[in-house]
Amino acid sequence: MGTFTKVATRGDIPEGTGKTVEAGGRKIALFNLEGSFYAIDNTCKHRGGPLGEGELDGRNVVCPWHGWEYDVTTGKNVDDENIRLACFAVRLEGDDILLEL
């Protein structure tokens, strides 16, 4: 079992948005989807775009560089589910958001 690390607070990520956070030397995209938080690898598999800067469309994040889409709840690419990003467990403690690495 990994260690949980505080990366943000609820107020840092308004509903329907995402943010890039760092934990354990990794950049991770953290999203607030209807009050639930999801974390995936920040780097798009296409050309390395920063997914934490992408727009949410429902539960999909759209890469700001070339438009590839990933489901933030599973890390799967919308067009090819064989392309998958790492997902990270999220835990809330009060207003603190913690990720397991």
pTM: 0.94
Q: Determine the pLDDT at residue 101.
A: 83
Domain that holds residue 43: 4-100
Could you tell me the pLDDT band of residue 2, with boundaries at 50, 70 and 90?
confident
Name the average pLDDT for the chain: 96
Q: Domain count of the chain?
A: 1
Q: Determine the pLDDT at residue 1.
A: 63
pLDDT, tens only, 19-59: 999 998 999 999 999 999 999 999 999 999 999 999 999 99
* DSSP H helix total and E strand total for the chain: 0, 10
Q: What CATH number has the domain bearing residue 78?
A: 2.102.10.10
